[in-house]
Amino acid sequence: MPPVVRFAPSPTGFLHIGNVHTALFNWLFARHEGGEFRLRIENTDTSREVAEATEQIQESLRWLGLEWDGPVTFQLDRMDRCREEAHRLVAQGKAYEDEGAIRIRMPDDGTTAWDDLVRGPIEYPNEKLEDLVAIRSDGRPTYNFASPVEDWLDGITHIIRGDDHISNTPKQIRILEALGAPPPEYAHVSHILGPDGATLSKRHGSVSVEDFRAAGYIPEALTNYLALLGWSYDDRTEIMTVSELVERFTLERVGASPAVFDYQKLEHFNGVHLRALPPGEYAERLVGYLREQAYEWDEELVRRAAPLVQEKISTLAQFPGFAGFLFGEVDPDPALLDREVLERAAAALEGVEPFDAEGIEQALRALADELGTSPRRAFQPIRVAVTGSKVSPGLFESLELLGKDRALSRLASAGAVAA
C-alpha cells in the first residue's frame, strides 16, 4: 500500500526553514514511494490563526515545488468530529469528564514503545503519562487529541516530523489505541542548528522561505541543500536535481544527529544551480526576481545583461550590485580614475561603428598598446568610469549594453573629476 504522509504547520507566521525541512522529507518520501503528500493547517487555536500566514504557507510550498495531493484541510473544520469521538470514548470508559473538560485515560504501568524509522526503538514509561486533556472546558480540542484523530481520519500511514514531537508520540499512540485506530509509523528528524550550535533563528540570518526568496535563492538550490541536512545519498554526491532527490531519497539514510545550516554552502549550491540553467530560463528567472522586488528596470536590457552575469553571481540578489550601472547613474571614485586614459578612451571609442563588444575590444586594446601599458592597467579606470566599480561584467560587453552615447558621456564626466 503506498504511504500517505502529511505536513501540518500552524498558521502563526511565515514558514520557517526548519518546517520546510520537515515538509521536504515528507514530500520526497511520498514521491519516492509513489504515495500521497497531504497539507493540513493545524488551526485549533483560533486566536493564533492568521489568514495571511495560511496563504503564505501554501505559496511558499508552491514556490519550492512541494505540491500537495488533494485539497488543503483545516483542523478547525473537524472540531465537531473530535468532540464526537471524545464523547464516544467517555461512553466506552476510555475517557472521563473533569471540570468541564474531557480527559483520556492513560495507562499507569508498562511502557509505550515504537520503532522509530530514524532513531530505532524508543520506549516511554507510562507512569510519566498524565491523563491527557482531549477537549478543553470551552469545547476546543487540544492539539494532542485533534492531530491523531485527523491522522486516523486521513489514513496517514507515516508521520515524519521534528524530534521535538518525540514526547507527544506516546500520548498520540495511546489516543489512537483508544480510538481503535492503527498507529502510523513514526520518523523523528533532527532540528536544524545555526553555526553557533543553537536552534536556527533570525539572529543567524534568513530563516523563512520568504527571506531566502527575497535574498535571491532559487527553489532548486534550497531544496537540494535542505535535503542534505540530515540525509545523504553517498559520501560524495551533493549537487542533485529534484528528480534525482526523489529517485534517491530513503528514510534509511536519514541520520539522527542535528544538522548545521551553513549559509555559505547554500550560496555555493545556489550559484551552481543558477549556472546550470539554460540561458533563456536564467534571464526569465532574473526578470521575475527583479519584478518581485519592485525594480522598475528595462526588462529587455535585463535579459541582454543576463549572459554577462550568469557565471559571476551566486544569488539573483547580487545582480543589482553587479549590473546596476546599466540602469542608473554611477559615482566613480576619483582616486581610481585617470584623466588621460579616459580622454583617449573616449576618442578611441568615438570611431567604433557598429558599437559592439568586438569593435570596442579592438579599439581599447589598441589604446593600451599606444599607452605602453598592460590592458588590465589601462582598462581599470575605464571600467570604474562607466560602471562605478572595479568589479563588473565584461568591460567590452558592458560598454556595448550601455550604448555609445551613455558610454562616452560617462567617460567625459569621470574625466572631469579624475584626481
CATH of the domain at 50: 3.40.50.620
The pLDDT score that the predictor gives to residue 31 is: 98
Same domain as 183, residue 41: yes
Low-confidence stretches of the chain (pLDDT < 50) are none
pLDDT at residue 195, rounded to an integer:
87
Active-site residue list:
202
Q: Are residues 320 and 361 in the same domain?
A: no
Q: Are 184 and 115 in contact (CB under 8 A)?
A: no
Do 289 and 389 lie in one domain? The reply is no
CATH of the domain at 392: 1.10.10.350
C-beta of residue 8 within 8 angstroms of C-beta of residue 41: yes
With pLDDT > 90 as the criterion, what percentage of the chain qualifies?
Answer: 89
Residue 298 lies in a domain: yes
In this structure, are 311 and 402 located in the same domain?
no
Host domain of residue 169 = 4-189
Pair (37, 123) in one structural domain: yes
Q: Structural domain tally of the chain?
A: 3
pLDDT in tens, 144-168: 999 999 999 999 999 999 999 999 9
- From 286, 311, 327, the end of a domain falls on 327
Residue 114 neighbours by CB under 8 Å, 6+ apart: 121, 122, 169, 173, 183, 185, 186
Does 48 map to a domain? yes
Same domain membership, residue 183 and residue 90: yes
Say what the pTM is: 0.92
pLDDT at 40: 95
Domain membership flag for residue 213: no
Predicted local confidence at residue 53, as pLDDT? 84
For residue 269, tell me if it sits in a domain. no
At which of 156, 172, 189 does a domain end?
189
Q: What is the CA radius of gyration of the chain?
A: 30
Is the same domain home to 12 and 75?
Answer: yes
Q: What is the pLDDT of residue 43?
A: 79
Quick check: is 141 in a domain?
A: yes
Assess whether 288 and 384 both reside in one domain: no
* C-alpha cell recorded at residue 172: 498520540
Asked if residue 167 is part of any domain, the answer here is yes
Instruction: Give the per-residue pLDDT at 138.
Output: 94
Classify residue 109: in a domain, yes or no.
yes
- Assess whether 65 and 165 both reside in one domain: yes
Q: Which of 237, 267, 260 is nearest to 249 (CA)?
A: 237
